[in-house]
Chains A and B, each alone.
Chain A
Amino acid sequence: MTIREAQEEMRRVYVNGAVGSFVSGAIWLASAALAATGSRNQAVLALVLGGMFIFPLTLLALRLLGRSTAVRKENPLSFLAMQVAFTIPLAIPLVLAAMQHRPEWFYSGFLIVGPLPSVRDALRPAALRDRRHAHGGGGHRAAQPAAG
């Protein structure tokens, strides 16, 4: 399987990342609603705990839409979601510490650290590897960067 094929399969299965983005947005909006109407702690818990379920909820949403969530075993990008899921929680203590200083830094902190380990960044080394392969006379052309 080439990197291009792996990327195309990921885009097709996860609808270009759109469903995950909607799920994540819904969790943020629910947290904001709690912040506006309820307590600040509930809003924080909603975003931190809800954020842990973005990927399972995305899979659920895809199934409800009648789409397959299966990625082929040989796809090297199938662990990408897991890598991102384990990277973002590392920043949670930092954001919570900043929030102790100024509460409004809570959402701002996640706005800053959330997009950093994006799928695009995670795919870039793979795309470069693919390009080197192509120059070495080994087959296909460089993969396009993933959307997102």
Chain B
Amino acid sequence: MLMVGAGIALPNLRPGEFALGGWVGGGLLAVLGVVLLLDRRARALHSP
């Protein structure tokens, strides 16, 4: 939802900025990767 929201908001907040969407998208995907990695570790810690 955050990515979809960023996609809708960016052209309105910074019209004419082409590369900004790429930085934001790449950053969000990297953050998502960290979240998924941490989630996996948490799951492993609590597994019997």
Contacts and interface: CB of A to CB of B under 8 A. Distances in A.
Do the two shown chains form a genuine complex with each other? yes
Interface of A: 11, 15-19, 21-22, 24-29, 31-33, 35-36, 40, 43, 47, 102-112, 114-116, 147-148
Given A43-B19, A105-B11, A25 B4 contact: no
The 7 closest A-B pairs by CB, nearest first: A107-B21, A32-B22, A111-B7, A25-B29, A28-B26, A29-B26, A21-B33
Interface of A is mostly: helix
Contact of A21 (B4, B18, B32, B43): B32
Interface residues of B, number: 33
B48 to A, nearest CB: 13
Contacts, number: 119
A16 B40 contact: yes
A112 B29 CA distance: 13
Interface string B12-42: 0011111111111111111011101101100
